[in-house]
Amino acid sequence: MMKPILLLSTCLALLAPGEKLTHGMSPTELAKIAPAVEGLIQEDKLVGASVLVIRHGKTVYFEQFGQRDREQNLPMEADTLFRIYSMTKGPASALALMLCEEGTLSLDDPVSHYLPSFSEQTVTIEEGETDPARRATTVRDLLRHTSGFGPGNSPQYREQGVRNPQATLSEMSEKLGPLPLAAHPGEQWVYSFSSDVLAAVIASAAGKSFPELLQERVLTPLGMSNTFYQVPPDKASRLSTLYRNKEGVLEPSDQAETSNFLKDPAFKGGGSGLVSTIKDYAKFLQMISNNGVYQGERYLRADTVELMRTNQLPRAIPCIGIGQNQKRHGIGFGLGFSVKYLYDDRWDAAAPVGEYGWGGAASTHYWLSPSHDLIVVTMEQTMPYTPLLETTLKPIIYQAIKE
């Protein structure tokens, strides 16, 4: 395991002779982003991308590359719309914590307090056998993904129709609640339905639909007018086509002009589903980065934001991982974001301790470093998920920080 000496050398890297910094970052180093992204496009690793870097609350880099629709020869633009999938989880988590601050929710409330179908939880011990859960799944568990649910693609969930996209949020919760858990709550980190159940809890506690609350409390106040579950007709032309990597070739998977995201979905959850622009999503991240304040308005207390971006997992869960064998060494999870709480070069070696963020299934990414007062968002539309753009650009961006 390496010690994080790379980060020290990054911050002390020499300036080019006569170079003027932009909010403490080197324009010469930032200029290396363009050839790096363009190289990936030339290698057919992605079709197009948008990259945004914010330092000390100011935009220091914002550029678009390639195409949003290769077949129609449409360029990637500043206001291109992206399917952000699991990047929906951040705003959903913030909304839940707003309700906690107000007393509408409590972190240690059992989920069954709001959703009765989650009463009398059991845990699968071996096939066909269950034991009572040692304790109930709580709101805190939903936020940090220690709810006890199995992976979303588990056979029992498919057989019971839990993942039915035609079901409503309430219907999904009713089907999921009585099913045996895969682990005792609080004992394993598993990426599953936690954020969707959280959305159902929010709706039940507040007595209003989750999409309405998200719009009223987060999207509208932050000025996120280009973030929605259904792309409006007058903005449809800005939606990027989704590409899927099939044996090394990127092929259209969900074309913009016929996308399901142009239709009103039955399921509007907290785990995925939103479409957004890179600048819109950055408004939410700026609020988080600024300890809950955006443009003079407070949305969350600073101590609440700290819970989102510091590791909240018990010691018995040393790191997170998606899939049966993956271990993201040194990475924990807060009440909303993954967090690098311990330096370990086996995962994301370029990231400093304290960095937090997440991403989406179409290879969208964001990361924030409090020690550098830095926000980075990268958008593309590539499936299956790949961290390639993030891992390519992260060392370049940190190297650009000079003071």
**In the predicted model, is pLDDT for residue 126 greater than 90?**
no
pLDDT confidence band for 357 (50 / 70 / 90)? very high
* Average pLDDT of every residue of the chain: 95
pLDDT of residue 12: 44
Domain ranges of the chain: 30-88+211-393, 97-208
pLDDT of residue 17: 72
pLDDT of residue 104: 98
Cα-based angle 49, 229, 163 (whole degrees, multiple of 5): 100
How far is the C-alpha of 16 from the C-alpha of 12, rounded, in Å?
A: 13
Which helix or strand (DSSP H or E) is residue 311 part of? Answer: none
**In the predicted model, is pLDDT for residue 18 greater than 90?**
no
CA dihedral 182, 184, 186, 191 (to 10 degrees): 0
**In the predicted model, is pLDDT for residue 11 greater than 70?**
no
How far is the C-alpha of 218 from the C-alpha of 188, rounded, in Å?
A: 30
Query: Looking up tokens 């809950």, which residue turns up?
Result: 292
pLDDT of residue 128: 81
How far is the C-alpha of 229 from the C-alpha of 83, rounded, in Å?
A: 9
The predicted-structure confidence for 29-39, as pLDDT tens digits, reads as follows 999 999 999 99
Would you state the structure tokens that stand for residue 44, as one six-digit string?
A: 């057919």
pLDDT of residue 325: 85
Helices 89-102 and 302-309: crossing angle in degrees, nearest 10, is: 140
Asked if the domains at 30-88+211-393 and 97-208 fall in one CATH topology, the answer is: yes
Percentage of the chain beyond pLDDT 90 is 92
The predicted-structure confidence for 160-192, as pLDDT tens digits, reads as follows 999 888 999 999 999 999 999 999 999 999 999
Percentage of the chain beyond pLDDT 70 is 96
pLDDT confidence band for 13 (50 / 70 / 90)? low
The predicted-structure confidence for 129-141, as pLDDT tens digits, reads as follows 999 999 999 999 9
How far is the C-alpha of 123 from the C-alpha of 184, rounded, in Å?
A: 6
pLDDT of residue 5: 38
Weakest-pLDDT range from 13-22, 29-38, 204-213: 13-22
The predicted-structure confidence for 41-79, as pLDDT tens digits, reads as follows 999 999 999 999 999 999 999 999 999 999 999 999 999
**In the predicted model, is pLDDT for residue 3 greater than 70?**
no
The average pLDDT across 339-344 equals 97
Q: What is the DSSP letter of 217?
A: I
The average pLDDT across 211-226 equals 98
**In the predicted model, is pLDDT for residue 8 greater than 70?**
no
Cα-based angle 34, 37, 42 (whole degrees, multiple of 5): 115
Q: What is the CA radius of gyration of the chain?
A: 21
Query: What's the CATH number of domain 30-88+211-393, 3.40.640.10, 2.40.30.260, 1.10.3720.10, 3.40.710.10?
Result: 3.40.710.10
* Domain at 97-208: CATH code: 3.40.710.10
What residues have CB less than 8 Å from 142, skipping those under 6 apart? 96, 111, 194, 195, 197, 198, 201
What residues have CB less than 8 Å from 296, skipping those under 6 apart? none
Which amino acid belongs to residue 301?
R
The predicted-structure confidence for 283-306, as pLDDT tens digits, reads as follows 999 999 999 999 999 999 999 999
